[in-house]
Chain A
Amino acid sequence: MEHYTMNLTLKVWRQKSSKEKGSFETYKVSDISSEMSFLEMIDVLNERLINEGKEPIAFDHDCREGICGACSMYINGRPHGPWTANTTCQLHMRAYKDGDTIVVEPWRANSFPVIKDLVVDRGAFDRIIAAGGFISANTGNAVDANATPIEKDKADAAFAAAACIGCGACVAACKNSSAMLFLSAKVSHLALLPQGGPERKSRVLNMVQQMDKEGFGACTFTEACEAVCPKEISVTNISRLNKEYLIAGLTEEK
């Protein structure tokens, strides 16, 4: 792998707080190594801003290995940047070449209000999970783990859905700001497992209700969410969610 350095122009959304209006600032960065990660490039810029007595760019990030779901940058018109199955923190600068201009924006959706610069509030996701994204199993109640065999295919499919990192890229990419991929991943994860059976109906109804309350849009199957999902969660899950909702809505007694 050939390494190289590059000079870039960055246009970054700056916004002091949720109450103030934001705007784009342009920064030139130089001598960026192709081996750096995208966030390390931002680190370099921030270090310079601090030395110049300016405020660094605020952005969410934590694990920097693509699993915590904190990082959330909309880079040149795509959540998490140009690579597929990738998070912002795992994007590396070899994706760019000398002289490129990169526009960085926060996730945009009414349900994800900007807190500062590129930091948004994704608390809606927690509230959706609290509405039903769990199996009610108090500690100490469990039977032996091997008491209920689970078809490998189903367990694998449940895992694939459960791999969601809750980053919100699906919402950011969706033209409707829909959270259906996120929601469906959880509904699928739990509906595929026998343990999730008893709460199957109330779960899907309550979670959809909460999602609507949070102000996310409806799904129109444009599949943009799947294309940008770092964990490649399939839109098939949305169909499964809809099926669960249909059955639950028609058969629930209340």
Chain B
Amino acid sequence: MKWSEFFTSSVGKKFVMAFTGLFLISFLIVHVGINACIFADMVDPDDNGEMFNKAAHFMGASYVIRLMEIGLFAGIILHIVQGYMLEAQNRSRRKEGYAVSMGSKGSAWYKKSMGLLGTLILLFLIVHIAHFWVPSRITYETTLSEVSYNGNAMHDVFSKMVEVFQNGYVVILYILGCFSLAWHLLHGFQSSFRTVGVHNKKWLALVQSVGIGFSIIVPLIFALMPISIFFGWVTNS
């Protein structure tokens, strides 16, 4: 079997979705870990984003990580493109539909709405990239201020965050984004493991419970970031 055949069969396409999905899940862990540094300000009011800015600087300055970033974008794009293609293909398998739909008889709505949830996340992602990635990676000369810790100068990404999350509508948008992510993960996390072949009951139970925990905790921490800044729990002063 050629590689091209392997990845283009219906099962192979799902492998692509699952592996990229798992890769993106691993990215989420890094992302949430680094961004959670802003909460240092809640413990030490003098932190003012120092820990976060240092972490962001580390991520931005390392060439290894910049290379991985390219991989990340490739993964995201593959996940999105393959996802849409699969969705379109799957939908075309039933030209004449039912008069009475199954609704939620048999499977939960979010399991059947991965395309919709993914689209919501994509929309959010575009805004999110425009808010942070573009200013900090492309237009940083005009969009970011500088800050210096112990003589080490770096971009003040934290101030950018505080600035963005002053807008209530933006905060609501981010919370909705996190909701979509939570539902998407709730199915995607365990489903990707099952797609790549986890069928042993013991492991399946583990994957399922970790999956539920992950899909609640990670989006929740993400959501707390704009909320904390908006309500002034995390501040620049």
Direct contact of A and B (CB under 8 A): yes
B-binding residues in A (CB < 8 A):
11, 13, 24, 74, 76-78, 103, 105, 108-111, 173, 175-178, 180, 205, 208-209, 211-212, 215-224, 227-228, 235-246, 248-250, 252, 254
Given A227-B106, A239-B197, A242-B196, decide whether A218 and B1 contact each other with a Cβ distance below 8 A. Answer: no
Asked whether, in the complex, the Cβ of B106 is within 8 Å of the Cβ of A108, the reply is no
Given A78-B105, A218-B14, A236-B204, decide whether A105 and B93 contact each other with a Cβ distance below 8 A. Answer: no
A–B complex contacts, Cβ < 8 Å, 27 sampled: A11-B99, A24-B99, A77-B100, A77-B103, A105-B98, A108-B98, A173-B102, A175-B90, A178-B93, A208-B9, A212-B10, A217-B10, A218-B11, A218-B86, A218-B90, A219-B11, A220-B14, A223-B106, A223-B111, A236-B199, A238-B194, A239-B195, A245-B11, A246-B196, A246-B197, A249-B6, A250-B6
Minimum C-beta distance from A12 to chain B (A): 11
Asked whether, in the complex, the Cβ of B10 is within 8 Å of the Cβ of A103, the reply is no
Asked whether, in the complex, the Cβ of A242 is within 8 Å of the Cβ of B102, the reply is no
Interface size class of B (residues with CB under 8 A): 35 or more
Q: Which residue of B lies closest to A113 (CB)?
A: B96
Counting CB contacts under 8 A, is B174 at the interface? no
- Distance of A78 Cα from B90 Cα, bound (Å): 19
8 Å CB contact of A108 from B10, B97, B111 = B97
Counting CB contacts under 8 A, is B60 at the interface? no
Asked whether, in the complex, the Cβ of A103 is within 8 Å of the Cβ of B199, the reply is no
Asked whether, in the complex, the Cβ of B1 is within 8 Å of the Cβ of A110, the reply is no
Residues of B within 8 A of A111 (CB): 93
Which chain B residues (16-44) contact chain A, with CB distance < 8 Å?
none
Counting CB contacts under 8 A, is B210 at the interface? no
Asked whether, in the complex, the Cβ of B100 is within 8 Å of the Cβ of A105, the reply is yes
- Distance of A159 Cα from B36 Cα, bound (Å): 50
Can you list, as one digit per residue, whether each of B91-120 has a CB less than 8 Å from chain A (1) or not (0)? 111111111111101110001101000000
Residues of B within 8 A of A177 (CB): 90, 93-94
- Distance of A13 Cα from B98 Cα, bound (Å): 10
Residues of B within 8 A of A110 (CB): 92-95
Asked whether, in the complex, the Cβ of B106 is within 8 Å of the Cβ of A228, the reply is yes
- Distance of A242 Cα from B91 Cα, bound (Å): 22
- Distance of A24 Cα from B98 Cα, bound (Å): 11
Residue from A108, A176, A208, A211 having most chain B Cβ neighbours under 10 A: A176
- Distance of A251 Cα from B195 Cα, bound (Å): 18
Counting CB contacts under 8 A, is B135 at the interface? no
Asked whether, in the complex, the Cβ of B195 is within 8 Å of the Cβ of A221, the reply is yes
8 Å CB contact of B197 from A175, A178, A212, A240 = A240
Q: Which residue of B lies closest to A175 (CB)?
A: B112
Residues of B within 8 A of A178 (CB): 10, 90, 93
Minimum C-beta distance from A124 to chain B (A): 12
The 8 closest A-B pairs by CB, nearest first: A243-B197, A227-B106, A239-B199, A176-B90, A77-B100, A177-B93, A224-B106, A218-B10
8 Å CB contact of A221 from B11, B90, B93, B111 = B111
Minimum C-beta distance from A167 to chain B (A): 15
- Distance of A219 Cα from B9 Cα, bound (Å): 12
Residues of A within 8 A of B198 (CB): 239, 243
Counting CB contacts under 8 A, is B89 at the interface? yes
Asked whether, in the complex, the Cβ of A242 is within 8 Å of the Cβ of B98, the reply is no
- Distance of A208 Cα from B1 Cα, bound (Å): 12
Residues of A within 8 A of B106 (CB): 78, 173, 222-224, 227-228
Given A211-B10, A215-B93, decide whether A205 and B195 contact each other with a Cβ distance below 8 A. Answer: no
Asked whether, in the complex, the Cβ of A242 is within 8 Å of the Cβ of B11, the reply is yes
Asked whether, in the complex, the Cβ of A227 is within 8 Å of the Cβ of B105, the reply is yes
Given contacts A173-B106, A222-B107, 6 further A-B pairs with CB under 8 A are A77-B100, A208-B10, A216-B10, A224-B106, A238-B194, A242-B14
Asked whether, in the complex, the Cβ of B94 is within 8 Å of the Cβ of A242, the reply is no
Asked whether, in the complex, the Cβ of A217 is within 8 Å of the Cβ of B90, the reply is yes
Asked whether, in the complex, the Cβ of B112 is within 8 Å of the Cβ of A222, the reply is yes
Counting CB contacts under 8 A, is B187 at the interface? yes
Residues of A within 8 A of B91 (CB): 176
Asked whether, in the complex, the Cβ of B11 is within 8 Å of the Cβ of A208, the reply is yes
- Distance of A238 Cα from B199 Cα, bound (Å): 8
Q: Which residue of A lies closest to B14 (CB)?
A: A218
Asked whether, in the complex, the Cβ of A103 is within 8 Å of the Cβ of B100, the reply is yes
Residues of A within 8 A of B190 (CB): 221
- Distance of A103 Cα from B195 Cα, bound (Å): 35
Residues of A within 8 A of B114 (CB): 220
Residues of A within 8 A of B89 (CB): 217-218
Can you list, as one digit per residue, whether each of B161-178 has a CB less than 8 Å from chain A (1) or not (0)? 000000000000000000
